Amino acid sequence: KNGISYGVTLPAHAHVFVENREEKPSAFPALKSVDLNDDTLIIVLSKKAAFVRFIHQGGRVVKTVAATDSSFYVIHPNDQYIRTEVGFIDGTVYYLNPVTRYSGDNPDLKLVAKVNVSATGWLRLLYFAAVALMFWYFTRKLPGKNEKKK
């Protein structure tokens, strides 16, 4: 609900620094802020990024900004969602949670499962009949059941 996490791809050499404690996590680039003001998504970074990429539904890149420590994207009415990727020169890439558009209603309350009593009853009857038919068929085929005694 809050979108307070994001995915990160670290460069191949990053594990060496972290394991040997040669570099503190503060040395890695950080997101200073991600804000949504009306229809504008604003990204501010602690260091200059090689690129900031805004990606539309279907995976289509709608805006790329190079060599920047901040960027923005104006969300258009036809944008169902926008996700952001931020890449740094050292190979670190951040994958931010998508920003989605919806009507403002509580989306959790829209879809509620309803039991179709009639269809459920017919399906249960069909299953019961199939099991009874298989039971009857296999009990007739058991060896020694239908053999005549001499």
Domain identity same for 93 and 123: no
Distance CA 49, CA 87 (A): 6
Residues of the chain with pLDDT under 50: none
State how many domains the chain has: 2
Closest CA relative to residue 61, chosen from 35, 36, 79:
79
Domain identity same for 124 and 94: no
Distance CA 79, CA 90 (A): 31
Domain identity same for 19 and 80: yes
For residue 35, list its beta bridge partners: 42
Tokens of 41: 């998504």
pLDDT confidence of residue 13: 67
Whether 149 maps to a domain, the answer reads no
Domain identity same for 58 and 78: yes
Domain identity same for 66 and 98: yes
- CATH code at position 94: 2.60.40
Establish how many alpha carbons lie within 13 A of residue 77's alpha carbon, considering only the half-sphere containing its beta carbon.
0
Tokens of 52: 């900031």
pLDDT confidence of residue 62: 96
Whether 53 maps to a domain, the answer reads yes
Quick one: CA torsion of 77, 82, 86, 91, rounded to 10 degrees?
Answer: -140
Domain that holds residue 129: 113-143
Domain identity same for 47 and 118: no
Domain identity same for 95 and 122: no
pLDDT confidence of residue 40: 95
Stated length of the chain:
150
pLDDT confidence of residue 49: 96
Domain identity same for 123 and 95: no
Closest CA relative to residue 81, chosen from 106, 68, 62:
62
Whether 148 maps to a domain, the answer reads no
Question: Which residue has tokens 């020694």?
Answer: 144
Tell me the Cα Rg of the chain. 30
Instruction: Identify the three-state secondary structure at position 64.
Output: strand
| Positions of E strands within the chain | 7-9, 31-37, 40-56, 61-74, 81-87, 93-95, 99-100
